[in-house]
Structure 1
């Protein structure tokens, strides 16, 4: 990571209350296993109604299914614009387990025509996540997290350190897309910024050039049991 950007990022993080989860709570690193997700259904809801309905949720009920997850990743994150059309943003899925997907940490492959997942860690992350959040009770209520991660090394090859700011614009565009797609699919979601950067970087097994820009808590539709 560029030294200037690293210094700015570290200074900003120093203003937050640190969270230091016990590393014994980390799910174990897993052998790399790739798996495709189902073909994502296109959102068909009226855009005006979706914009009017979009709200942050604090009750998450059951878990989304794999088709919902595929739609969030493909139509939400994957379709978002990025400066220079660079692959500067990655999405990680953190879950205690869904139907057809074991608990752990998974890196999303956003290439078309349909997204896939690459396993990073295996096991229930709930206890670690609770200690890495400013509001620990979120961890037990949220069945799935999407973490949007910026890769500074990718953009540093083309742009100066000022692009650190543009990366957050890219992340904001992806976040808004994801929230609107979730609303169209009737999934409760909530953006979360109260987390410890270093703790989440360990959970996602990130390199020094990557940083978490935002977390999104995701639940299932109201007709799915908890």
Structure 2
């Protein structure tokens, strides 16, 4: 069993998470003097085995996937968004008991601590608003209507203003940590990575551009999505048509 230790009443993962948040966005070119090029690991071995690619659709998708720097601000169609979200995050095995259903991504103990939301910045057929992705019922639920008074400046760069669709992944950590203690924090972060990779690959299949983002201010994102106290944003993906 992993650690259930606390510091001043908070679990260790909660202390770490709070202290690893962004509270302001630094310029991307503002890097420390200690910044160095990556030294990739190799072994000086007399034996090496060349790797090969898989022929077929999945191999092509993986080779074509790129995190784009250029976003087409033109609107997306609702059907594109529906296919992207339903394929990336939908239920793939239905059971009468919702606790027995399985989804398009792995989740430790099938606890599914990651929730998903979108901001429809420019999607034909959707109001300019925040929507929650209800995976169990396979539908979008509107959370709030976007106000022009609210800025997207909590996401770094200008791309967030140009992307017609923004996907937010949030964590309800206690779903996982109740079973796995502090290690459930790791499992939740891993799950978000699986979902984002699905989004990237399905976007590629749909001829859309996808860019995962870690540069955002979590507390402001939580306010934007109107998240309850025990839920917080952990990952952002920007989606547009390809240029």
User: What TM-score do you get using the length of structure 1 for normalisation?
Assistant: 0.77
Render the CA deviation track for 1:98-119: whole Å, top value 9, x for unaligned.
111000110011126xx31111
Cross-structure match for 2:86: 74
- The Cα RMSD (Å) is 2.1
Matched, 1:18 2:13: no
Any conservation in 2 of the 1:103–1:125 contact (CA below 8 Å)? Answer: no
CA gap of 1:176–1:126, structure 2 versus 1, over 3 A, is farther
Find 1:60's aligned residue among 43, 65, 71. 71
Partners of 1:125 and 1:213 lie apart in 2 by 24
CA gap of 1:126–1:93, structure 2 versus 1, over 3 A, is farther
CA gap of 1:48–1:151, structure 2 versus 1, over 3 A, is same
What SS does the corresponding residue of 1:67 show, helix, strand or coil? helix
What SS does the corresponding residue of 1:71 show, helix, strand or coil? helix
Partners of 2:11 and 2:229 lie apart in 1 by 11
Partners of 2:135 and 2:149 lie apart in 1 by 25
Partners of 1:46 and 1:125 lie apart in 2 by 41
Cross-structure match for 2:38: none
Cross-structure match for 1:212: 233
Partners of 1:96 and 1:191 lie apart in 2 by 17
Any conservation in 2 of the 1:2–1:161 contact (CA below 8 Å)? Answer: no
Partners of 1:187 and 1:92 lie apart in 2 by 18
Any conservation in 2 of the 1:82–1:170 contact (CA below 8 Å)? Answer: yes
Runs of 5+ unmatched residues, structure 2 = 1-8, 26-55, 91-103
Runs of 5+ unmatched residues, structure 1 = 20-44
Matched, 1:189 2:210: yes
What SS does the corresponding residue of 2:128 show, helix, strand or coil? strand
Partners of 2:80 and 2:112 lie apart in 1 by 23
Cross-structure match for 1:133: 155
Any conservation in 2 of the 1:134–1:194 contact (CA below 8 Å)? Answer: yes
Structure 1 residue 183: Cα displacement: 0.5
Any conservation in 2 of the 1:64–1:187 contact (CA below 8 Å)? Answer: no
Aligned length: 191
Any conservation in 1 of the 2:199–2:210 contact (CA below 8 Å)? Answer: no
CA gap of 1:126–1:220, structure 2 versus 1, over 3 A, is farther
Structure 1 residue 125: Cα displacement: 6.1
Matched, 1:116 2:149: no
Partners of 2:148 and 2:242 lie apart in 1 by 22
Cross-structure match for 1:35: none
Larger gyration radius, structure 1 or structure 2: 2
What SS does the corresponding residue of 2:215 show, helix, strand or coil? coil
Structure 1 residue 17: Cα displacement: 4.8
Render the CA deviation track for 1:100-157: whole Å, top value 9, x for unaligned.
1000110011126xx311111102569521x21222x123211110011111122233
User: What TM-score do you get using the length of structure 2 for normalisation?
Assistant: 0.72
